Structure 1
Amino acid sequence: LKSMGGTIPPAPANASTEETSKGKAKEQPEEPVKSPEPESEESDLEIDNEGVIEPDNDDPQEMGDENVEVTEEMADQANEKKMEAINALSEGDLQKAVDLFTDAIKLNPCLAILYAKRASVFVKLQKPNAAIRDCDRAIKINPDSAQTYKWRGKAHRLLGHWEEAAHDLALACKLDYDEDASAMLKEVQPRAQKIAEHRRKYERKREEKEIKERMERVKKAREEHEKAQREEEARRQAGGAQFGGFPGGFPGGFPGAAGMPGMAGMPGLNEILSDPEVLAAMQDPEVMVAFQDVAQNPANMSKYQSNPKVMNLISKLSAKFGSKP
């Protein structure tokens, strides 16, 4: 073009830019696709947790010495402290009430009502764990106190322990019906039932999954067993095919052939097949062709008189059956 007076236009700048950008785009590795995380059992469970509070983590309160021998005077003093605590509670002085109930408990640690009363104050102070500890001690002393189950149920409700709350509140109403406990039971029971149904749903799913996996394992084991049987059968057939021309295992009607007297019925077949020299000879194509020829027409044996491999096999077989070639 230049020799003819023409000019070559320069390459457009954006072409190289596009090629470069394409090259860079190709060089950038693709981000791996993240597989979705397995759904947890809680992922589709929605519970109204209104009124649930953070758990109290205070040191355990004083419980008194349960092995102390309580005198009549100590019991009277404990009763006085209990009355003072009740008065403080009615005045709204909750901490003072806790302290006075604690004094009463130390004087008479075997009285279940004192723990139940202090638990009621702990519930009002939004200290459900402390209340549960008091109720556990009270139930250990007296397992038939409705008030104790009522306050423990309320403490569990504050922590969002819906099933435990429903259990304790229902037991409280069963032991001694209480409108306050019954009202709270109606609040927590639907949530507890929802949790129980949700748990049963996932238990069924797990059971179904386990059954499916077990069935798949059984199916796989059966298929592997059948495959092994087929392979074993194929090996047996392949082994017999080496002597496929023989009725009963030897070529071309050899047993009972006219040139091999005494071989009818092929007695001693196992002995023949266990002879390594016979087996080795039968692996030789030349020997097998000659052997087929002789088996079909014994008169053809004269063709192989000068072939030591063929005559050796015929001699061995004849020896096995007590005849001479």
Structure 2
Amino acid sequence: MSCPFGKEALDKLKQFIDVCKSNPDILSLPDLNFFKEFIESFGGKVPPPSKMSSEAPNARAEDVASDAESEPESDLELDTEGCVEPDPLDENQKMGDPNKKVTEEESDKSDEKRMEAMGQFSEGNYDKAIELFTEAIELNPSSALLFAKRGQAFLKQTKPNACIKDCTRALELNPDSAAAFKFRGRAFSLIGEWEKAAKDLRQACNIDFDEQTDEWLKAVTPNAKKIEQHKLKQERKRLEKEEREKRERARKAREAHAKASNATRTETNNANANAAPGDDFYKLLQDPEIRAAFTDPEVSAAFADISSNPANFYKYQSNPKVMALITKLSGKLAGSGFGPGSFPGFPGGFPGFGGMPGGGAGAAPPQFQHDDDNLD
């Protein structure tokens, strides 16, 4: 009987089992109740959740999911069959003088060396072939073909880094060298650089298709795709994290703004509450209508008289202009912390004007003493 699940599904299942082993508490989550019942149906026993996990199961689940998503690239299951230990980088690898002016005679000698090198290569004498290719390169260091062919010889000796160096120089001289892309791509695959290998081999096929290059490309494509998908996943996680952090910063900024606004309102209310009642009264005197009323000499004189002696208020009860202004002031001051008839600056208030100190609603006008001249 064959397994009904693919390799990818089985890998995820293994990963889930590993998480359960490291943190059995997640099996108590409601979403995993079906799996808990499955274990118990075979006689298994799931340990009770710890106190910490029962208090914050959602946070635990998020941490597990985050850990599963943040797997490093090294944990990816890649097929490394055929990979080799990279050869040390050789700083003395002869690359010729890139500024050399090649003469026709040197070019001809270089071609002769190249033919000799290819003969040695076909016989499997790779050391001798590399030696002859090097001589040809020193005669004509502007030939991309010479570097690509020497790179191929290094590849035969399982020296991928030396091959990569030669093929890179070949591509600098000729960006359309299919051979350089082909051998460099193969060298990248030998040291596990799957994405670079796939890119070079794909480019080689596009320039000059051959079956060997296509075969190498097919071999590296699965690993290259796994790494590409992993990087896309990591990039998505990074963007999601940045978005969460952005929203969190915005939330904190809103809270700080609201807190500052509340503090400002509180300070304003406290300042208003602590303000002297007289301040509001004198602010009312800035009202245009009230200021206009005080420009009337009769009204101004009356208020000066009342201010000097509040009892003189009764002299003006029949004066419509004075009483109109007093009524207006009384109405405005009603909601400003004053009594209905209290006026700062007028000691005792206005007698007889609704509940003011020094008088009352039912207070009788004062009795004035008249001189008796006994003429009757």
- Shorter-normalised TM range: 0.5 to 0.7
Out of 254, 257, 265, which is 2:329 matched to? 265
CA contact (8 A) 1:150 1:172 kept: yes
CA contact (8 A) 1:77 1:107 kept: yes
1:248-278 deviations in whole A, cap 9, x for unaligned? 957xxxxx99959777538xx9xxxxxxxxx
Letter in 2 for 1:56: D
Between the aligned partners of 1:88 and 1:123, the Cα distance in structure 2 is 15
1:25-68 deviations in whole A, cap 9, x for unaligned? xxxxxxxxxx9997454265222222222221142311111222
Between the aligned partners of 1:236 and 1:137, the Cα distance in structure 2 is 75
Q: Which has the higher contact order (CA 8 A, sep 6+)?
A: 1
1:121-175 deviations in whole A, cap 9, x for unaligned? 1111111111111111111111111111001101111111111111110010000
Between the aligned partners of 1:55 and 1:300, the Cα distance in structure 2 is 109
Q: Residue 98 and residue 224 in structure 1: after superposition, are their counterparts in 2 closer, same or farther (change >3 A)?
A: same
Between the aligned partners of 2:142 and 2:98, the Cα distance in structure 1 is 6
TM-score (norm 1): 0.65
Task: Give unmatched runs, 5+ long, in structure 2.
Answer: 1-62, 282-302, 314-324, 334-344, 350-354, 361-376
CA RMSD of aligned residues (A): 3.7
Match of 1:26 in 2: none
The alignment status of 1:87 with 2:99, answered yes or no, reads no
Out of 346, 350, 356, which is 1:297 matched to? 356
The alignment status of 1:172 with 2:204, answered yes or no, reads yes
Out of 225, 230, 239, which is 1:193 matched to? 225
TM-score (norm 2): 0.57
1:68-111 deviations in whole A, cap 9, x for unaligned? 22222222221221121112112211111111110111111111
The alignment status of 1:127 with 2:154, answered yes or no, reads no
Provide the aligned length of Structure 1 versus Structure 2: 241
CA contact (8 A) 1:41 1:202 kept: no
**Identity level (%):** 46
Match of 2:85 in 1: 54
Residue 240 (structure 1) shift? 2.4
Match of 2:140 in 1: 108
Task: Give unmatched runs, 5+ long, in structure 1.
Answer: 1-34, 251-255, 270-290, 302-325
The alignment status of 1:117 with 2:149, answered yes or no, reads yes
Match of 2:15 in 1: none
Between 45-54 and 137-146, the greater mean CA deviation after superposition: 45-54
Letter in 2 for 1:125: Q
CA contact (8 A) 1:240 1:249 kept: no
CA contact (8 A) 2:85 2:191 kept: yes
Match of 1:69 in 2: 101
Structure 1 runs (4+) greater than 6 angstroms displaced:
35-38, 260-263
